């Protein structure tokens, strides 16, 4: 890597300095953004390789370019490992992102104008699940289910009733800010009862599935989509799993359906990520993510804050900041000034708009990658609660900022690697 940085220094010191400033920013701050993580150096090296040069439209041994024998090995390895890791009959590792992975499934399972049913954005759904701001929302019809107003959890009787009324062709389970386990068998039963296909979007929790600390969607879903950069801790990208009977149509939906040439460097990095996710160390990592999330959530609750649904079973939870007399945006800004990154998020049935919100989403994948344990979460929870309760106090924010800086310094992200 050393010589690569040398070239960048010579040709474009401006960009090198951006990279260096970002390295420093990562080091100094505590990252509680539930969708982020730190890719290991092995992943970054594969991604920074000359495999970025190769055009490889098509699939291994069925390419539209010569000279693909070697990158074919990278893709075959990534596919083999994805199938092994998740116990799936088919995997496509070419989607550039989680949103692309979802589009691929829509193209395969729906015709323009068909209806899909997904979790409401306000209750934890994702923009790529048919939002009117997204291409899928223009092509397909969409209806929604939410969470129960009282329990703030999924209510399968209610979801079943909506499915029977609306008769969607595709039902999507999985979201971006739902803190609880999802009953995939119940979703599969609902889908079967109305003749719909089931897509589980495990973008957020695929690392927990790989580490066997989350219910497993693969035996229940027709399709599973995911990112590789969230809890799975790989390069920025996506993939799709399914049973073998959809192999051909899914392959065609990716290419030439919605993408051109795959990013072979990223596919190699995905192979590395899947290998790492098969290790015992990764299982321990996944388990610790959840233990940390529970510990952090319990601490902020004990400090008097309210968590949506009363807690978490996963890597994330949502704090309702409205009782503190602030918005999610104000909470995000106060924490940011104190060196903590966590993002504002709409709450179920939030009356505030998405650019203000009444909630704050907190996740533990990144701090767990840094080596933090439940004991550290108690301390972090205390700092967070103190800032949120005193969000207008400059002295509290300044003091917390110094403590966060010290905490961050004692947990290096890349201990053996100087960038």
Ligand X SMILES: *Cc1c(COP(=O)(O)O)cnc(C)c1O
Per CB under 6 A, residues contacting ligand X are 35, 97-99, 102, 126, 128, 174-176, 201, 203-204, 227, 238
Asked whether 96 and 263 are in contact (CB, 8 A), the reply is yes
Residue 91: its H or E element:
strand 90-92
State the catalytic residue, choosing from 227, 312, 357, 368: 227
Residue 249 tokens read as: 């149509």
Q: Which residue, judged by CB position, is nearest to ligand X in the bound state? A: 98
Query: Among candidates 100, 110, 241, 253, which has minimal Cα distance to 168?
Result: 110
Of the pair 338, 344, the CB lying nearest ligand X is at 344
State the catalytic residue, choosing from 27, 236, 287, 389: 236
User: Least distance in Å: CB of 151 to ligand X?
Assistant: 21
State the catalytic residue, choosing from 75, 166, 201, 276: 201
Residue 21 is among the residues annotated as catalytic for this protein: no
> Which residues, in sequence order, are CB contacts of 220 under 8 Å at separation 6+?
184, 185, 187, 188, 198, 200
Residue 274 tokens read as: 């899947």
User: Least distance in Å: CB of 239 to ligand X?
Assistant: 11
Calpha distance 365→37 (Å, rounded) = 6
Residue 55 is among the residues annotated as catalytic for this protein: yes
Of the pair 99, 312, the CB lying nearest ligand X is at 99
State the catalytic residue, choosing from 27, 36, 45, 57: 57
In the chain, the largest separation of any two C-alpha atoms, in whole Å, equals 63
Of the pair 203, 289, the CB lying nearest ligand X is at 203
> Which residues, in sequence order, are CB contacts of 245 under 8 Å at separation 6+?
none
Residue 319 tokens read as: 């704090």
Query: Among candidates 272, 325, 265, 253, which has minimal Cα distance to 90?
Result: 253
User: Least distance in Å: CB of 124 to ligand X?
Assistant: 8
Calpha distance 321→389 (Å, rounded) = 9
Residue 230 is among the residues annotated as catalytic for this protein: yes
Of the pair 134, 393, the CB lying nearest ligand X is at 134
Quick count: other Cβ atoms within 10 Å of Cβ 218?
19
Residue 163: its H or E element:
helix 156-166
Of the pair 358, 363, the CB lying nearest ligand X is at 363
Calpha distance 72→38 (Å, rounded) = 27
Residue 236 is among the residues annotated as catalytic for this protein: yes
User: Least distance in Å: CB of 126 to ligand X?
Assistant: 4
Calpha distance 78→246 (Å, rounded) = 19
95: left (phi over 0), alpha (psi -120 to 50) or beta: beta
User: Least distance in Å: CB of 202 to ligand X?
Assistant: 8
Query: Among candidates 376, 397, 385, 359, which has minimal Cα distance to 303?
Result: 385
Of the pair 231, 309, the CB lying nearest ligand X is at 231
User: Least distance in Å: CB of 363 to ligand X?
Assistant: 11
Of the pair 125, 168, the CB lying nearest ligand X is at 125
State the catalytic residue, choosing from 29, 169, 230, 275: 230
Q: For helices 374-389 and 328-337, what crossing angle results, to 10°? A: 110
User: Least distance in Å: CB of 95 to ligand X?
Assistant: 9
Residues recognised as catalytic: 55, 57, 201, 227, 230, 236
């Amino acid at each position: 890597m050393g010589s690569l940085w040398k070239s960048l220094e010579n040709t474009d010191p401006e960009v090198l300095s951006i990279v260096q400033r970002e390295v420093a920013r990562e080091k100094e701050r505590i990252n509680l953004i539930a969708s982020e993580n730190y890719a290991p150096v092995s992943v970054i090296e594969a991604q920074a390789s000359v495999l970025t040069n190769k055009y490889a439209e098509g699939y291994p041994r069925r390419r539209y370019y010569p000279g693909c024998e070697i990158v074919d090995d990278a893709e075959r390895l990534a596919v083999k490992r994805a199938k092994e890791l998740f116990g799936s009959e088919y995997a496509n590792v070419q989607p550039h992102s989680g949103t692309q992975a979802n589009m691929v499934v829509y193209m395969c399972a729906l015709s323009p104008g068909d209806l899909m049913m997904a979790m409401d954005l306000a209750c934890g759904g994702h923009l790529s699940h048919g939002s009117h701001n997204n291409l899928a929302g223009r092509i397909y019809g969409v209806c929604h289910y939410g969470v129960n107003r009282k329990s703030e959890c999924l209510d399968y009787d209610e979801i079943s009733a909506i499915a029977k009324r609306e008769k969607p062709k595709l039902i999507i389970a999985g979201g971006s800010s739902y803190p609880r386990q999802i009953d995939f068998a119940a979703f599969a039963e609902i889908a079967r009862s109305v003749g719909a296909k089931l897509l589980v979007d495990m973008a957020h929790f695929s690392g927990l599935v790989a580490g066997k600390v989350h219910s497993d969607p693969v035996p229940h879903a027709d399709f599973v989509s995911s990112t590789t950069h969230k809890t799975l801790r790989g390069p920025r990208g996506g993939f799709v799993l399914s049973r073998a009977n959809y192999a051909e149509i899914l392959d065609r939906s990716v290419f030439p359906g919605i993408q051109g040439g795959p990013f072979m460097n990223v596919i190699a990095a995905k192979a590395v990520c899947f290998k790492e996710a098969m290790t015992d160390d990764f299982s321990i990592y996944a388990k610790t993510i959840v233990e940390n999330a529970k510990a952090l959530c319990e601490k902020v609750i004990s400090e008097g804050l309210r968590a949506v649904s009363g807690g978490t079973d996963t890597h994330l939870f949502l704090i309702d900041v409205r009782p503190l007399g602030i918005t999610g945006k104000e909470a995000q800004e106060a924490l940011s000034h104190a060196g903590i990154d966590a993002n504002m998020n709409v709450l179920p049935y939030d009356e505030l708009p998405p650019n203000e919100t009444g909630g704050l989403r907190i996740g533990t994948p990144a701090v767990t990658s840094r080596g933090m344990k439940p004991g550290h979460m108690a301390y972090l929870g205390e700092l967070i609660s103190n800032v949120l309760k005193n969000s207008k106090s400059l002295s509290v924010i300044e003091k917390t900022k110094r403590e966060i800086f010290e905490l961050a310094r004692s947990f290096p992200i890349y201990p053996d690697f100087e960038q």
